[in-house]
Structure 1
Amino acid sequence: MPKAQALTTPTISTRLLATAAGVTGIMLLLAYLVAFDQGALSQSGTYLHELMHDGRHLLGVPCH
């Protein structure tokens, strides 16, 4: 009868975890700006407002 092997759990490096958390945060911020901001943060110029407006249309998010 063969011996049972011990199961090892894979470890995740802290650098990879920090990078994944940073990328997730940036993507959530971008999703907020495109989908839910409705121009509140882009009052300074029309270029950013129009970019986010077109992004909402591209993603199918109702905006008006």
Structure 2
Amino acid sequence: MKNLSKNRFAFIIVLTLLFTMFLSNSVFASAVYTQTPTMNNAWGFAQGTAQQVKTRYWWMDCHY
């Protein structure tokens, strides 16, 4: 039970990655993307964060 918070954090990251991948492939995402500019900013921020997490973990996999 000690690693619960760490596991929860990793679970949230994985969930967010899956969610963004699902949204990027759906027609609904493109419809929302063209309609609301505030969603555009949040969408770009979420995708940039996911890309940073992926790159950081890839770097750790390669170098450690």
Instruction: Sort the TM-score into its range (normalised by shorter chain).
Output: 0.3 to 0.5
Write 1 or 2 for the structure with the bigger share of helix: 2
Q: Based on CA coordinates, which of the two structures has the bigger radius of gyration?
A: 1
What TM-score does the superposition give when structure 1 sets the normalisation length?
0.42
TM-score in terms of structure 2 length: 0.42
